A and B are shown apart, each in its own frame.
Chain A
Amino acid sequence: MLSYITRRLHYSLVVLIAASFITFAGVSWASDPLAPLYTTPNVSRHSIEVVQKRKHLDQPIVKQYWYWVKDATTNKFGTTLLTNKPILPDLWRVMKNTLQLVVAAEAIAITLAIIIGVISAIRQYSFIDYAGTTFSFLGLATPVFWLALMVQVAVVQIYGHTGHKLFPVANLNSVDPGSGIHFWLDRAHHLVLPVMVLMVLNIAGYSRFLRASMLEVINSDYVRTARAKGVIERRVTMKHAFRNAMIPLVTVIALGFGGLIGGAIITETVFSLDGMGLYFINALGTGDPYPIMAFLLITATAIIVFNLVADILYGVLDPRVRYE
């Protein structure tokens, strides 16, 4: 087991280094982050050269990459190109905000998906089953950004017609959020709509998957055996079927993590939340490789760790799976 984990981590490290080099080379090759300086009238040739020297932009890409690796490992991802601002403090702040959004959305999504999926499976072809299936089909066909916009439209239109202000449609906090409990209540109030939007896609995906997985288990031989020997139905569904149907969900959730980051990028942009996604979009706008690389490296590491944890967890939950 331990050798399996070390082997996986070694391999992931190689993939990570390769991915970072390709992205760095691609970004540096395709964009000139100094472009806005050339057209600004009061920036002298000399100050442009200073920036160029500081970030080694006059060097070949392989050397630039090496300088970036040095910066990333010894200098906390380095500083931004034009403003020379340290990247890590900004990244910490936006990461905390994104985590609040993502964790809340994922927790609610998993809970609701389990409820919908299990009920749909044990009451197959009931009203709840059809409603759940319709919802997941719609959820998988609806673009996240459009859903976010429509929610905003609905809230603003309700405000315009009835004067009720249901939820804030932008930002993480009010201008003056107060402190302590007031701050967190204000934050929660602001996160209601983004969380609602972000969780729809995952509820749709997870509940459909759980329904299928649950149906498969319910129709398996050992469940029939359990019923045949007289185990009460509640115990059959909860103890025999449910626990086994849940196992593959671990993998699905771990693999969905990358998609969740994509969802966060979109949700944060629409609701202008100060999170990692918006940070990344803004960084893409400037073409500065350093913050782009910092974002990609952190999310990639998170994805690798998530997948590894999921695989290990899978082995713990399902003893038939062995890792050599």
Chain B
Amino acid sequence: MSSPGADGTIVGSIGLEAEYAIAQPDHLELTYESGVEVKARSQWAYARMRFFRHKLAVVSLLILVLLGVIALFPGFFAPYGYDEIPFTDPVKIIENPNIVTESINQPPTLKEWHLFGTDQLGRDSLSRVIYGMRTSLWVALFVAIVSTAIGTTVGALAGYYGGVIDNLLMRFTDLVLVLPFLAVLLTLAAFFGTGDPKRVALILAFLFWTAIARIIRGVFLSLREKEYVEAAKAAGASDLRIILRHMLPNTVGPIIVNATLVVAAAILTEAALSFLGFGIQPPHPALGALINDGQGEGTRLWWLVTFPGLAIVLIALAVNFVGDGLRDALDPTQRRIRA
């Protein structure tokens, strides 16, 4: 762990290491021979057991599932629409002439379900947070899936073959590492982003994949020397078969763990970009953009910046805990802090 080339690009990824060794439990034969009756369990069953021992991770997973369901059906859970202004309908103004002053800038209240208050246009803050969460979660998942797919492919090829692909990967990584990450991201977003969530997600994925590629490359470099790979080669298996059938299943642990960490990093980075005005912009809802919206009046209408931010913290915290639980479950050799 004292190698100087540790990874610096992902926020909150202290302890990502290039070297992974995958433990293969061989308890089954041992217990059989010793005559003790033990239920046969697959490697996944062990992983599941280890994960469920991690209480914080289980609770976090439940919270994430709950937030995910809310984000999937915002129309069902949000009390109002995302852009619903209560006094656009002239009939309502005639019915109640004070509707404007009564509905704007309301602090959090139980009245009419404005649990997170309302903004300068009377829009319900809770509904806006729910719709914003939907976009932010979508972007984070997209970034995690796309960057993991690209990173795994490039990392596997670079680690297995070395040579040109490896060289290209490492040179590209050097190029990205030499510049300040946020500044590069801002520059890209300023000139290629249009405030559209899809564009922002693509830009993020484009910068996030190198970290994963380097990690997978490290795993493949060490797996390449294993006996079973040699055996597969001797048996005449093709390179593609060796990579897909023999090596990739043994890297599933690090891949899943890092994909989880990317979700957290992507949520935080997208929020920062959107807050600075270079990420997702209105009319698209996003948590960072909501905070940007409320910023001008933020010190007075404190609820406009507080609740979207709390949502970000909750998601990032839960994802990090789940990532820790997954690390313990899938990749036990990576436990860095002794229990």
Contact = CB atoms under 8 A, between A and B. Distances in A.
> Chain B's interface: helix, strand, loop or mixed, by majority?
helix
A150 interface: yes
Interface in A244-296: 247-248, 251-252, 255-256, 258-259, 261-262, 265-266, 269, 280-281, 284-285, 287, 292, 295-296
Contacts of B313: 138, 141-143, 146
A9 B276 CA distance: 34
Given A19-B178, A269-B276, A143 B309 contact: yes
Contact of B298 (A140, A149, A281): A149
Contacts of A23: 179, 184, 187
Contacts of A287: 190-191
B180 interface: yes
B199 to A, nearest CB: 12
Interface string B298-335: 11101001100100110011001100000000000000
A212 B337 contact: yes
A321 B186 CA distance: 37
A31 B191 CA distance: 6
Interface stretch (B5-13, B218-226, B237-245): B5-13
B317 A138 contact: yes
A215 B180 contact: no
Interface string A23-35: 1001100110000
Contacts of A115: none
Nearest to A147: B309
Contact of B14 (A145, A209, A292): A209
Interface stretch (A71-79, A80-88, A152-160): A152-160
A321 to B, nearest CB: 8
B15 A212 contact: yes
A311 interface: yes
A145 to B, nearest CB: 5
A135 interface: no
B186 A265 contact: yes
B291 A284 contact: no
Interface string B79-102: 000000000000000000000000
Contacts of A213: 1
Contact of B175 (A19, A284, A299): A19
A16 interface: yes
Interface string B1-36: 110101110011011000000000000000000000
Size bracket, chain B contacts: 35 or more
A5 to B, nearest CB: 15
> Chain A's interface: helix, strand, loop or mixed, by majority?
helix
Given A19-B179, A143-B272, A208-B14, A255 B6 contact: yes
A140 B320 contact: yes
Max chain B Cβ within 10 angstroms of own Cβ: one of A16, A30, A149: A149
B183 A157 contact: no
Nearest to A124: B338
Contacts of B337: 211-212, 215
A216 interface: yes
Interface string A125-168: 00000000000011011111110011011001100000000000
A216 B312 CA distance: 33
Which 10 pairs across A and B sit closest by C-beta, in order of nearness? A262-B182, A30-B191, A255-B8, A146-B309, A141-B316, A156-B299, A140-B12, A141-B317, A261-B180, A258-B180
Interface of A: 12, 15-16, 18-19, 22-23, 26-27, 30-31, 137-138, 140-146, 149-150, 152-153, 156-157, 169, 205, 208-209, 211-213, 215-216, 219, 247-248, 251-252, 255-256, 258-259, 261-262, 265-266, 269, 280-281, 284-285, 287, 292, 295-296, 299-300, 303-304, 310-311, 314, 318, 321
Given A26-B187, A215-B337, 8 more contacts: A15-B171, A26-B188, A138-B313, A140-B12, A143-B309, A262-B180, A285-B190, A296-B183
Interface of B: 1-2, 4, 6-8, 11-12, 14-15, 171, 174-175, 177-184, 186-188, 190-192, 264, 268, 271-272, 275-276, 278, 288, 291, 295, 298-300, 302, 305-306, 309, 312-313, 316-317, 320-321, 336-338
10 contacts: A23-B187, A143-B316, A144-B272, A149-B305, A153-B306, A157-B302, A255-B6, A256-B8, A300-B178, A314-B4
